[in-house]
A and B are shown apart, each in its own frame.
Chain A
Amino acid sequence: QSVLTQPPSVSGAPGQRVTISCTGSSSNVGAGYDVHWYQQLPGTAPKLLIFGNNNRPSGVPDRFSGSKSGTSASLAITGLQAEDEADYFCQSYDSSLSTYVFGTGTKVTVL
């Protein structure tokens, strides 16, 4: 039901770089609304990872970075570590639905 589409899974070896896409439309990401990213470790609540497309809260390693272009946004993880194995969600606002929306989620596996 989500209007923000993410790949179900991505994987990489330790030390590699992985990217997660978040594809929206002209009523959300494409309308200029900011995109935010969350990391959810198994059995825990989501944790804010990136806000305002490309800003990291204090304490978040600079291995995590965000970008946005057109109707899509991306989260990049460089120097992949075992502790990065988690689910990742993007989030924005949709003007057609008049609500805050989350992505479908992506499971990152460290090989």
Chain B
Amino acid sequence: QVQLQQSGPGLVKPSQTLSLTCAISGDSVSSNDAAWNWIRQSPSRGLEWLGRTFYRSEWYRDYAVSVKSRITINPQTSMNQVSLHLTSVIPEDTAVYYCAREPRNDYGVFFDNWGQGIRVTVSS
């Protein structure tokens, strides 16, 4: 049973960096059969895929074009967790942020396990 437990601050000031962590249990961040994604949800933008990291003999990262210049997703193998850093945040970055597991499969990319979500507000 894969479980994802998210942690991080719920309030970030404009221009600062949003940092969240997703602790993985029941699987490994270094698994060759999974990828670890970050997705956010807001009333104005709906569900928005932000990016992912995965290990296939080496580490790979993919990021959404909309946030590519500001986002970093890193595995933390010793802690079996994955982190999200989003720099220079603006109020429009206010959303519920989810980490989600993507299984390696024959049906494209989908997300079979989700963290509980963290509501992050960007405000001074």
A46 touches B112 (CB 8 A): no
B46 touches A99 (CB 8 A): no
A51 touches B65 (CB 8 A): no
Number of A positions contacting B (CB below 8 A): 29
Contact of B108 among A34, A44, A45, A103 (CB under 8 A): A34
Q: Does A91 have its Cβ within 8 Å of any Cβ on chain B?
A: yes
B46 touches A1 (CB 8 A): yes
Complex Cα distance, B4 from A47, in Å, reads: 13
Count of A-B residue pairs with CB < 8 Å: 63
A80 CB to nearest B CB, Å:
24
B105 CB to nearest A CB, Å:
8
Number of B positions contacting A (CB below 8 A): 21
Complex Cα distance, B2 from A2, in Å, reads: 29
Interface 9-mer from B13-21, B53-61, B80-88, B113-121: B113-121
A52 touches B46 (CB 8 A): no
B65 touches A45 (CB 8 A): no
Residues 35-50 of chain B: 1 if any A CB is under 8 Å from the residue's CB, otherwise 0? 0000000000111110
Q: Does A36 have its Cβ within 8 Å of any Cβ on chain B?
A: yes
A102 touches B49 (CB 8 A): yes
Complex Cα distance, B66 from A47, in Å, reads: 25
A1 CB to nearest B CB, Å:
6
- CB-defined contacts of A64 to chain B, threshold 8 Å: none
Contact of A33 among B64, B108, B112 (CB under 8 A): B108
Q: 5 smallest A-B Cβ distances: which pairs?
A: A52-B107, A102-B47, A45-B114, A36-B110, A34-B108
